[in-house]
Structure 1
Amino acid sequence: MARSITASELGIELKPLDDSSLFKWFIASFLMGKRIQAPIAAQAYREIVEEQGRDTPRKLQHCTSRELVSMLGRAHYVRYDESTAQRLLDLSAKLNAEYEGKITHIRSISEDRQAFEKRLGEFDGVGPKTIEIFMRDAAKVLF
């Protein structure tokens, strides 16, 4: 089994009530949750969030699908680039529309960890693996 990449290895310092770091880790977890090598997913995260500055749900939502496909391509994340680009756009749109663009808002309206994870799973393309990766590091600051 491949070694897992942590939030801190990506330079993300998770802190309670820090939506910026939680969003970045959610995007990284989403990319790593697919059947793709973790180092490639990590590079895709760096390209989108660090190189292109798409570090908030609003900034990410205002990308075009073509721009995102291009960013994924530069990171060699090409296997699912079209669907991943669309799902990232959908994810940011849903986060903005339903949760004020904040992971902490999902947490505040969730009774417990199980309810929180269920809400995460309602994002298109977010399955058990993405939730597992995200919660591995984020649970410490969310619960």
Structure 2
Amino acid sequence: MRRPLSPRDLGFEVHPGDELSLFKWFLASFLFGKRISQAIAAKTWRIIVVVHGCDTPRKLGACSHARLVRMLGEGGYRRYDESTAPRLAQVCRTLIDDYDGRITGIADAASGRAGFERRLLAFPGVGPVTLAIFMREAAAALYGPE
């Protein structure tokens, strides 16, 4: 079995209070959490973040449905592009509307790690797999080392 990819494999590290790195990892986790190969998810992340520069909830959330579908398709999400695009848009809207576009805004509104995880699981398209992938790297940045 191959080792799971980390932020470092994508060319960045997650740091406490660094919204850009937290969102980039959240987006990667969202993509990795789907039933699609790790290689396709990583390629799609690079297409969205590096090629198209959609590295914040506001930038990604400003994309039309058609543009999201095109970016997902470019990365190889051919069978999942139409279903993933609206979830991705809704995740960005929720982050912006409810948490000022900040992953740390979720932590600020939650009562500890368990509350953060419950709130994240309420996002469309975020299930236990996405949550586990995200928290594997982001927990220390959000809540300190265990």
TM range (shorter): over 0.9
Cα distance in 2 for partners of 1:77, 1:142 equals: 30
Aligned to 1:50: 50
Q: Which amino acid aligns with 1:136?
A: R
Q: Which amino acid aligns with 1:4?
A: P
Q: Which amino acid aligns with 2:87?
A: R
Aligned to 2:140: 140
1:63 aligns with 2:63: yes
Aligned to 1:124: 124
Q: Which amino acid aligns with 1:3?
A: R
1:16-95, aligned counterparts within 5 Å?
16-95=16-95
Cα distance in 1 for partners of 2:12, 2:123 equals: 22
Cα distance in 1 for partners of 2:17, 2:91 equals: 20
Match of 2:21, SS? helix
Q: Which amino acid aligns with 2:123?
A: F
* CA RMSD after TM alignment: 0.9
Shift of 1:64: 0.7
Match of 1:41, SS? helix
Q: How many percent identity over aligned positions? A: 52
- Note the residue ranges of structure 2 that are not aligned, 5 or more in a row: none
Match of 1:82, SS? helix
Q: Which amino acid aligns with 1:31?
A: L
Cα distance in 1 for partners of 2:128, 2:86 equals: 19
Match of 1:12, SS? coil
Q: Which amino acid aligns with 2:94?
A: K
TM-score, length basis structure 2? 0.95
Shift of 1:2: 4.3
